[in-house]
Amino acid sequence: MTSSLSPVDVQHACTVLSSPALIRLITEIDDNGAVPLRGLARTLADLPPHQLRRATDRARALGLLRVRSGVGLCLTTPGVELADVYDAAARWARRHSYPAPVADFTSRVQRTLALLAETTLLAEHGGHPDASRDRTPSAQAAADLDQPRDLLTQWLQVNPQAAQSTDAGSAA
């Protein structure tokens, strides 16, 4: 995928970036603008406080968020660009009914990132996606996957810290 990141690094980054709370946090701010610090729990009320705290800590560690005085949590340029990756993944999934004809935004992003990670590893070893894990996309869907893959690749080239993070489990 990239010359500086191995397929295992890409898989790790996809795991880190697939946290439902992180996806929700980044897309909420991207869609609706800055969130006051004291209003974050109210804005994402369905997320338990510990998940929200972990997602916020992870986003800050990855350089995706910053706190602006008097405004609250805002996305940095890498945060806005990650929101674009999430949007591209969700659009691809919606267009190809992946993983199912009806799925929410977060699930579409998660499953598309998982597919990107899987196909990156398989490309390294010359394999094909395992149909038992997910529905295998059609040839056209696989070709269309290049757009979200390219966005992810570009984002990871500029933000390799996502692949180098050591605590992916805390993002889940």
- Three-state DSSP string of the chain: CCCCCCHHHHHHHHHHHCCHHHHHHHHHHHHHCCECHHHHHHHCCCCCHHHHHHHHHHHHHCCCEEEECCCEEEECHHHHHHHHHHHHHHHHHHHCCCCCCCCCHHHHHHHHHHHHHHHHHHHHHCCCCCCCCCCCCCHHHHHHCHHHHHHHHHHHHHCCHHHHCCCHHHHC
pLDDT in tens, 116-167: 999 886 665 555 544 434 556 788 888 899 999 999 999 999 999 998 865 5
Report how far residue 52's alpha carbon sits from residue 103's, in angstroms, rounded to the nearest whole number: 22
pLDDT in tens, 44-95: 999 999 999 999 999 999 999 999 988 999 999 999 999 999 999 999 999 9
pLDDT in tens, 1-32: 445 788 889 999 999 999 999 999 999 999 99
Report the CATH number of the 7-160 domain: 1.10.10
Report how far residue 169's alpha carbon sits from residue 63's, in angstroms, rounded to the nearest whole number: 18
Which residue in 150, 34, 45, 31 sits closest to 88, CA to CA?
150
172 pLDDT higher than 50: no
Domain boundaries, the chain: 7-160
How confident is residue 171, by pLDDT bands cut at 50, 70 and 90? very low
Q: What is the pTM of this model?
A: 0.86
